[in-house]
Amino acid sequence: MKRVRKFQVTIIGSSEASHLEYDTAYKLGYFIGKNNWVLINGGRTGVMEASSKGAYDAKGICVAILPGELIDSGNIYSTISIPTTIGYARNCITVASGDVIVIVGGKSGTLCELTYAWQYNKPIICCSWIDGVSKDYAGVFVDDKRSVPTIKSEKIEDVYDLLIRMYENFLD
C-alpha cells in the first residue's frame, strides 16, 4: 500500500524574529504549503507565526506544538493546535515530528531544539545567512555522535532544493 502520511517539515527559530527571519520563515512556510507538505512548529510568535502564515496563505497545513494547556494559545495561522502542557519540554516533540528540521535564526530555545534534532538523527538545514543558531551551527558537527554535519544553506533557493530532494527520498 502507498504511504498516506504527508511529508512533515519542522521550522524552528526565535519567537522574536527580525525582518529577515520573518520574511524567510514566511517564504519557507509558503513553499511547504504549496507543496502540500505539513509544517510543524512551536505555534507561537516570530519565526513560528511567519512560517504558519506562509503555510496558511498557501492553503497548507500547520501543526502547532504548544507549550501550555490552552488549545487557542497559538498564533492565528495554525491549522492544528496540540497543547502539550509541558512547557519547553515540548521542543522534543516539535523536532521529533518533522522528517527534516529547518533552522531560521534562533536563540537558546532554538539551540535546545537543534540538540534534540541532532540526538534524533534528523536532517538539519541551517539558514546560514541569518544570525543566530542557524548561522552558528551551519555545516558543523554538534558532537561526535553523527557522521554527517548539519547542512549549511547559503540562500533560500538552496533550502527549497534540499527539501525537494528530501521529499523525493521520503517517497522511496
Domain count along the chain? 1
Indicate whether 131 belongs to any domain: yes
Q: Per residue in 77-108, pLDDT tens? A: 999 999 999 999 999 999 999 999 999 999 99
E strand segments, the chain? 8-13, 38-41, 61-66, 80-83, 100-104, 124-127, 151-153
pLDDT given for residue 3 in this prediction: 77
pLDDT given for residue 2 in this prediction: 74
Indicate whether 1 belongs to any domain: no
Indicate whether 100 belongs to any domain: yes
pLDDT < 50 positions in the chain: none
pLDDT given for residue 1 in this prediction: 67
Indicate whether 3 belongs to any domain: no
CATH assignment at residue 131: 3.40.50.450
- Note the pTM of the prediction, 2 decimals: 0.97
Q: What's the CA gap between 164 and 53, in Å, rounded?
A: 21
Q: Which domain holds residue 78?
A: 8-171
